[in-house]
Amino acid sequence: MPQWGHERSEARGLPEIDLPDVDGSDSWRDLARARVTTLCQRGTPLRGVFPSPVQRVGRLQFADGTVLLAHAEHPGSLASLAFAASRRMIRETRRQPVDSLDLVFRCSSFGAIRVSIVGIDQPD
């Protein structure tokens, strides 16, 4: 039995699309780790923190267009991070520990703010 959609794409001459696995694999984590590594190596500045539909999760938007979903350890940390990003007070972004999905933002007035990356989003 043919899979759904393959006969239609072949009939129109469209290339077959390889969709990511949805079987619980960690492919999004691998992609997120790669993006976080690139952001930290390049020193890409955080441009803003915006609300997401999920409580205590924010959308971190970086200068290169990357948008990551992040969860704060403490209530109010995302609000502090949003304020610091809007005032350009973030001095450094670092992974802590090195191969994790945890980011530490060092701010001039708030000290260190730790967030955990919980997903990848697309820019608006």
23-74 pLDDT, tens digit each: 556 688 899 999 999 999 999 999 999 999 888 899 999 999 999 999 988 8
Q: Is residue 114 part of a domain?
A: yes
Q: Is residue 117 part of a domain?
A: yes
Domain count, the chain: 1
Q: Is residue 64 part of a domain?
A: yes
Which residues have a Cβ under 8 Å from the Cβ of 75 and sit 6 or more positions away? 56
pLDDT band of residue 21 (cuts 50, 70, 90) is: low
Q: Identify the pLDDT of residue 55.
A: 83
Rounded alpha-carbon distances, angstroms, from residue 2 to 10, 15, 72:
12, 16, 45
Q: Identify the pLDDT of residue 123.
A: 80
Q: Is residue 19 part of a domain?
A: no
- Which among 13-17, 96-100, 115-119 has the top mean pLDDT? 115-119
39 or 99: whose pLDDT is higher?
39
Q: Is residue 59 part of a domain?
A: yes
Q: Identify the pLDDT of residue 23.
A: 53
Q: Is residue 97 part of a domain?
A: yes
